[in-house]
Amino acid sequence: MNITVTVNGETYERDVDPRRLLIHFIRDDLDLTGSHVGCDTGNCGACTILYNGDAVKSCMLLAVQADGAKIETVESLSANGELDGLQQAFSDHHALQCGYCTPGMLMSAKHLLDHNASPTEGEIRKGIQGNICRCTGYVNIVEAIKAASK
């Protein structure tokens, strides 16, 4: 099937297999490998992207469902090689160790801050509840998001 998708402000037209998952389309067809695949079953959140402004797990959508959609991936955050405020806060607060969860965590955090500029700690924890981190224990991630919100 032929689909047209806008990803990080750029429009792509591609032929895709109707069974192709959106995460595989993003990573393998568009070569945007920032979004990770952790489970392929909607549990880990490593593949989280913004889909028409909503944070979604892109392993739970088919590429054909993105026809006409506006998508933002973790690559949209930095410009000219500079970290954006949220990425810098993750770095400053040691909010990552292996980094596998980080792209999805950042996009869930971005979604939260786009809708709530000054979230409480409880709101931050709820905002990232769909994202699993095996390394950090979450405390520094919550601190980073809190700092980025200021």
Report whether 146 contacts 121 (CB < 8 A): yes
- Cβ closest to ligand FES, residue 73 vs residue 80: 73
- Cβ closest to ligand FES, residue 42 vs residue 80: 42
Give the nearest distance from C-beta 110 to ligand FES in angstroms.
Answer: 16
Task: Write out the residues near ligand FES by the rule CB under 6 A.
Answer: 37-40, 42-47, 57, 59, 96-101, 133-136
- Cβ closest to ligand FES, residue 40 vs residue 67: 40
- Cβ closest to ligand FES, residue 60 vs residue 64: 60
Give the nearest distance from C-beta 33 to ligand FES in angstroms.
Answer: 13
CA atoms within 13 A on the CB side of 53: 3
Give the nearest distance from C-beta 80 to ligand FES in angstroms.
Answer: 26
Give the nearest distance from C-beta 36 to ligand FES in angstroms.
Answer: 7
Give the nearest distance from C-beta 9 to ligand FES in angstroms.
Answer: 23
Report whether 145 contacts 96 (CB < 8 A): no
- Cβ closest to ligand FES, residue 4 vs residue 99: 99
Ordered DSSP codes for 6-74: EETTEEEEEE--TT-BHHHIIIIIS--TTS--S-SSSSS-TTEEEETTEEEEGGGSBGGGGTT-EEE-G
Report whether 1 contacts 18 (CB < 8 A): yes
